[in-house]
Amino acid sequence: MKKINMADPHFDEDDRKWIHREIDAILDGALSMGPNVRAFENEFAARVGVRHAIAMNSCTSALEAALLAKGVAGREVIIPAETFIATGMAVHLTGGIPVFAEISASSLCLDLEDVKRKVTSRTAGIILVHMAGLLSPEVAEFRRYCDSEGLFLIEDAAHSPGARSAGKEAGSFGHAGCFSFFPTKVITAGEGGMLTTDDDAVASFARSYQNRGRDMEARAEHYLNPGRNVRMTEMSALLGRVQLSHLDEFLGRRRRVAAIYGEALAGAPGMQLLLPDDLECSSFWKVPLLLEPGLDREMIAEHMAAAGIAVDWAYQPALHLQPVFRALYGTSEGLLPRTEELLSRHLCLPCHPRMSDDDAIRVAEAIRTAIEGSARHGLGR
């Protein structure tokens, strides 16, 4: 029985030939700060539709650079609690104060109305996470609101390269966008991240920050800002370029899998599949759904595993309930009742380019069966 994983990075034979050929050139030339990094930055900026893209060693570093560029020390930054630890930790480590806001039940992205309730005179900006690949349906409204209030907007687009709405891609709506190229993501460089922006000041700071704060315009070795060595390697950039060249192909396959789920699970009892009306709005890092209250998520996951299918749930406990944030900020249960309730019953289905139509149908049939089994078990208790 074929096992269906949550992620399955793909490099075809032509990719492998390209990589092997370029590795020889890298070993004979620049191992760092070389032509592949520059090419990857230029190609990624062109894809997103921004003037600047700065390659880094992780999305976390990109977030830190964006936050430092905007100046958050001692100020509040509003974030969701349905996100990876890096979103909140980047705020803390750059001197900011994370303020948690509720998410929407239909998108699992930040709820703009709750964000507005959390804004104070100390608020510097907002980090909007495009959850599971879905470009936040409110992203344009977030940008307009931030502009009207003098706040910055950073897009945490770790899950969502290629997600598009109204002719614009994730990473081009905010004052900065931050992407991840970890092996489980939509495209991978092994490790790595990218900061995108149209803001010349943010771009200049980010390039300095990734080089220990050096003045990148000066010939002399002058250091203007606090910084780190968080550059992307030539090897990672090479892998990223190869993957980026296939992004449309990967997205097409992911959207096909999501569409099959939508057709096969339409009206399915016990669950609500969270799909946008326009599939172009998501890169479908994963396909989330909400289980009806009372269903046993662990039992459902065990049933799926027995069928050779991986499922998971993203980011639980919620960020404000992680021990580190409890200790740092005194957060506790009940702070975000909607987020806490949604996270307790959400589940993600696999979605990646190596899945066939038959694989997607198999997943849909298995999740139906698993949910029905959980419902029967609940009735029998």
The SS3 assignment for 253 reads helix
- pLDDT of 381 > 50? The answer is no
Asked if 176 and 69 count as a contact pair (C-beta separation under 8 A), the reply is yes
- pLDDT of 216 > 80? The answer is no
Task: Please tell me which residue in 2, 17, 70, 185 is annotated as part of the active site.
Answer: 185
Instruction: Please indicate, yes or no, whether the overall pTM of this predicted structure exceeds 0.85.
Output: yes
Annotated catalytic, 286? no
- pLDDT of 218 > 70? The answer is no
Question: Tell me: the pLDDT tens digits for 274-330?
Answer: 999 999 999 999 999 999 999 999 999 999 999 999 999 988 899 999 999 999 999
Token pair for 141: 């409204």
Q: Which residue has the tokens 């050139």?
A: 25
Q: Helix/strand/coil (H, E, C) string of 295-345? A: CCHHHHHHHHHHCCECCECCCCCCHHHCHHHHHHHCCCCCCCHHHHHHHHC
- pLDDT of 106 > 50? The answer is yes
Q: Please give the domain boundaries of the chain with CATH numbers for all domains.
A: 13-242 (3.40.640.10), 247-379 (3.90.1150.10)
Mean pLDDT across the chain, nearest whole number?
95
